[in-house]
Structure 1
Amino acid sequence: MDAPVLLTGSEGRVGRAILEHLDDAYDWRLLDREPPSSDPPGEVVVADITDEERMSEAVEDVGAIIHLAGDPRPEAPWQSVLRNNIDGTHTILEAAVEAGVEKFVFASSNHAVGSYETDARTPDIYRPEDDFRLDGTELPRPGNRYGVSKATGELLGRYFHDEHGLSVVCVRIGNLTKDRPPRDYERGQAMWLSHRDCAHLFDRCLQAEYGYEIVYGISNNDRRYYSLEHAREVLDYDPKDNSAEFDE
């Protein structure tokens, strides 16, 4: 991709994981509310994603957007997720369409489907022998207001794809940790996403051709209740890590 890639929320955990492995792969334009904590690999924009004028400037001449910015707290109050996650996503989608951006990669979350983990299914669904899978075709079932905001972001992406032809992929990110999955925590192991696989997945989101898709963002774990088949089929996602490799 010759045009710059706008990465919103670049100072967050997912943004740092992407840049850790892909710092030289793209011409980055990095957007965050806070100035960078270290020397960034690209142009820096310090702005709030709800600022329509600044977002119009930020998306100018970019070919794709990875949208990570927002309030990441599962316990975030409604007013915060409404402003930062829902209004902010709508603002940057509007700016993307007006600027003629081709691809929009939305960082959704496992919290958009958290209520599928009912007492009747857990903890069995976290174990290798269980065959229950979510594959992205199911309706959202958020477990908190943060999950509601991520499900809303997915619907906004659907609307902007259908109405304006924007290519949109929504990545329901699992449990991102850098070095290893959490020990003695079956759920965290089932939805583990390594930094290496995270960067590879978002790289594939930038490179592949698609219309509107929902995929799951986890590593190739033996324990999992998210299917990777659609991400493999649509994006050619090929995760290398597996939480089982760290079993004692």
Structure 2
Amino acid sequence: MDDPVLLTGAAGRVGQAILGGLADEYEWRLLDRDPPTGDPPGEFVVADVTDEEAVREAMEGVSVVIHLAGDPRPEAPWDSVLTNNIDGTKIVYEAAVDAGVDRVVFASSNHAVGAYETDDRTPEMYRPQGDVLLDGTELPRPSNLYGVSKAAGETLGRYYHDHHDLSVCCVRIGNLTEDHPPIDYERGQAMWLSYRDCAHLFDRAIRADYGYEIVYGISDNDRKYYSIEHARDVLGYEPRDNSAEFD
């Protein structure tokens, strides 16, 4: 790929996991509202994702956008998720269409479906023998307003795919930690995503051919209530890590 990949929210945890594994694989254009603290692997644009003019300028000449920017707090209030996560995501999609970008990879979240974890299902659903397995075809059931904003971002992606032929992959990211999953925390182990599997998953989302997809971003854990089969089928995702290795 000759054109740059635009990565919004590049200084965040997901951005650092992606760049940690893929810094040398692509030409990067990085956007974050905070200036870089080290030597970034590409052009760095200091801007807020709600700044439409800055986003449009950063979008020029890119072929793929990985959109991570927004308020990541599960407890974030409505005024923040509306401005940063919903309005900001719409700005990214709109600018991508106008710039002729091929695809947007949108960082959704497990919080978009967190309310499936009902009292009568937990903690059994977090265990290898659990009978609940979400596969991306289910409707969103947000667990908080942050989850509402991520469900809205998925729906915006569906709109821009259907009406503007933009390829969109929504990744419902699980529990991203670098070295190992949370010990003695069944839910965290069931939704663990290692840094290297995160980088590999987004690499496949950059390279694969698809229209509109929702996939789950977790490692190949023995404990899981998210299916990764769709990510395998449509993206060629082949995770290498498993939270059971740390039991």
What's the counterpart of residue 79 of structure 2? Answer: 79
Matches within 5 A, 1:1-248: 1-247=1-247
Segments of 5+ residues of structure 1 without an aligned counterpart are: none
Distance of 1:68 and 1:136 partners within structure 2: 19
What is the SS of the residue equivalent to 1:210? Answer: coil
Segments of 5+ residues of structure 2 without an aligned counterpart are: none
Q: Deviations over 1:159-198 (max 9, x none)?
A: 0000000000000000000000000000000000000000
Runs of at least 4 residues of structure 1 off by over 2 A?
none
1:32 corresponds to which letter in structure 2? Answer: D
What is the SS of the residue equivalent to 2:141? Answer: coil
Distance of 2:65 and 2:184 partners within structure 1: 36
Distance of 2:87 and 2:132 partners within structure 1: 34
Identity among equivalent pairs (%): 74
Q: Deviations over 1:87-141 (max 9, x none)?
A: 0000011100000000100000000000000001000000001131000000000
Distance of 2:237 and 2:144 partners within structure 1: 29
2:132 corresponds to which letter in structure 1? Answer: F
Paired residues, number: 247
Q: Deviations over 1:17-65 (max 9, x none)?
A: 0000100000000000000111100000000111111111010000000
Distance of 1:187 and 1:138 partners within structure 2: 20
What is the SS of the residue equivalent to 2:29? Answer: strand
1:26 corresponds to which letter in structure 2? Answer: Y
TM-score (norm 2): 1.00
1:237 corresponds to which letter in structure 2? Answer: Y
Distance of 1:227 and 1:37 partners within structure 2: 37
Distance of 2:204 and 2:145 partners within structure 1: 29
Distance of 2:205 and 2:51 partners within structure 1: 26
Distance of 1:156 and 1:218 partners within structure 2: 23
Distance of 1:61 and 1:239 partners within structure 2: 31
1:5 corresponds to which letter in structure 2? Answer: V
CA-atom RMSD in angstroms? 0.4
Distance of 1:146 and 1:239 partners within structure 2: 27
Distance of 2:12 and 2:127 partners within structure 1: 30
Distance of 1:104 and 1:209 partners within structure 2: 12
What is the SS of the residue equivalent to 1:92? Answer: helix
Distance of 1:63 and 1:34 partners within structure 2: 24
Q: Deviations over 1:188-247 (max 9, x none)?
A: 000000000000000000000000000000000000000011000000000000000000
1:40 corresponds to which letter in structure 2? Answer: P
Distance of 1:128 and 1:92 partners within structure 2: 38
Distance of 1:113 and 1:43 partners within structure 2: 35
